Amino acid sequence: MAKFEIILRNDKVKQYNSMALFIVILNIGLFILTAFYSTDQFIRNVALAVAVLSAVSLAAGWWLARKGKAVNASLKYLPLIIITIGWAMIGNWWAAVLCAVLTFLFATSQRQLQLGVDKGEVIYPSFPQRTIRWNELNNIVLKDGLLTIDFKNNKILQSEIIESSAGLNEQEFNDFCREQLK
């Protein structure tokens, strides 16, 4: 169990949400084109149903967000999941696999970035999660809401912490880290 857990700010969430929105709208357009140009009735029906369901789930998530309600994580991923299933149902496997990978990456980008610090190691919330031993570090400092990790190989990582973890005693954290670095 980590002695200190610090939640880092994820500044790229808006960018990831915009990319996901673009991917969903692009796929809705592709499903509409597929519905109009396909000669197979089953493919036409599935493509139209997927386009409508994706658009409705996207609109529902947008509407809830505009009303200030917390959007459930499953509703956030629902359009991407519907699109993935739609591509698989019409037999376009490469598109289904690509959408499944994008859904996984989107879900990974939305997670909370939580740094764990204890006597044995520092757990950095990268993807995949990185374990940093104390003997790899020159210094680790938390000052004025900014966490700085200085590696012995001259690499430096800096991240802002979010306000909810601001109740952390910076002096106690810095003293603990200094003790581990001895």
For the stretch 127-161, pLDDT in tens is 888 888 888 888 889 888 888 888 888 898 888 88
pTM of the full structure? 0.78
Residue 32 confidence (pLDDT) above 80: yes
Class of CATH domain 113-181: mainly beta
Residue 144 one-letter amino acid: D
Backbone angles phi, psi at 44, to 5 degrees: -60, -45
